[in-house]
Chains A and B, each alone.
Chain A
């Protein structure tokens, strides 16, 4: 029997802003790179995002946020992931996130933060290079 692995990604929009163009562009780029992208829609709570990641057994979580609430929502997501044992999931973020917040976000386990203007090729390359090899 041959093993057929696919990279599974959940693209989520935590918080209350309703601008999902960026999230959809990312979802599409990752899909076109051969990944299975689970799109969850707007206004997700940290609990919903983490529970979705758990049920879908994803390798990657992509968070898009423009509301400015990242310093509250992201730590809560990372904490929940840890509590549920999802420590091998690659998490990255995009949207409007001020540069001075990035070090703190990386400290809590967000692997990378991408700003506006990032090319989709960069994203795809980043995911492929950083996704955890899981057993």
Chain B
């Protein structure tokens, strides 16, 4: 199955912005294919140029509609845009219903826009495991802006903070006390708050509630998240929203950007090491039949899991077998 010329062709296609190559490479990373790492390794040096906007918020707050309008605004300004929409996978059937494109129909045929829907496939945190790499592929393909729509159900869906530069938290009117309930999660990661559906009743109250919440939150390094009102369905407020995004970008570029980037790379490296080491040690243990042996000892209470892990790490095998890439 591994065919180096095929991957090379795909990588070249991505770099040229070829839509089919982009789509197929995203599928590779989504399916965790053996070729995926090779493709990402080749593309990595071409990434880091795009600006990444994260969009999160409760179901029904209007995220997809807002992204559609924001994208149009960006297109008027001549920017190319990649969009990744993440929706949850059913834990029971493994299937997923990805319906964000319904709100973005007309963008489908715009050559300057590429939209990809992704299911979480069991990954917690509001993103799919492959979302980060999908963003990288769009980045390498030359998109000026990539927008990621995360699953924004509540307190733990905050992984978007590991990917995006500017995070928009979209809230519908009439949340009231529910803001209190969700404030522990997505309310803490917003760089800009958007009170959408501002033509509805209670929109001003939503703004006041968010402001009140922000008053109680310590300011993050000199950036007080602004709260703006939009009516995504008509496009009202998009110019102001884009201005705020640009302001936040300038704020980041004036200082916090490099630090954030470094922290992210650090976290990623740690994660990659953890994953590789665990994979490699476990593979080795299982190949030698030691894994079951340890399990039995622990089950029989002859050993505890921590001592077993220490013992495994003291053995000099496993790590050496890590594949060179």
Q: Which residues of A contact B (CB under 8 A)?
A: 1-6, 27-28, 30-41, 44-45, 47-48, 51-52, 54-57, 84-86, 135
Known pairs A1-B37, A4-B31, A5-B31; list 16 more (Cβ under 8 Å).
A6-B121, A27-B97, A31-B90, A34-B95, A36-B95, A36-B98, A36-B119, A38-B99, A39-B97, A39-B102, A41-B102, A45-B109, A47-B109, A52-B101, A54-B19, A135-B3
Do A37 and B115 touch across chains, with their CB atoms under 8 A apart? no
**Inter-subunit contact A38/B98 (CB<8 Å):** yes
Nearest CB on A from B54, distance (A): 20
CB distance from A10 to the nearest CB of B (A): 9
Q: Is the CB of B95 within 8 A of A32?
A: yes
Q: How many residues of B are in contact with the other chain, CB < 8 A? A: 39
Cα separation A47 to B105 with both chains bound (whole Å): 11
Report how far A38 CA is from B18 CA in the complex, Å: 21
18 contacts between A and B (CB under 8 A): A1-B34, A3-B32, A6-B31, A6-B94, A27-B97, A28-B97, A31-B96, A36-B119, A38-B99, A39-B102, A41-B101, A41-B103, A41-B105, A48-B108, A48-B109, A54-B19, A57-B24, A135-B1
Instruction: Please measure, in the bound complex, the distance between the C-alpha atom of A30 and the C-alpha atom of B97, giving whole angstroms.
Output: 9
Closest 8 CB pairs of A and B: A41-B102, A31-B95, A57-B23, A34-B94, A57-B27, A39-B99, A48-B108, A34-B95
B108: contacting residue among A3, A4, A34, A51, CB under 8 A:
A51
Taken residue by residue from 11 to 43, chain B's Cβ proximity to chain A (1 for < 8 Å, 0 otherwise) reads as 000000001101110110011111011000000
CB-nearest residue of chain B to A10: B101
Q: Is the CB of B20 within 8 A of A54?
A: yes
Q: When chains A and B are docked, how far (Å) is the Cα of A32 from the Cα of B94?
A: 8
Cα–Cα distance between A6 and B89 once the two chains are bound (Å):
11
Q: Which residues of A contact B24 (CB under 8 A)?
A: 57
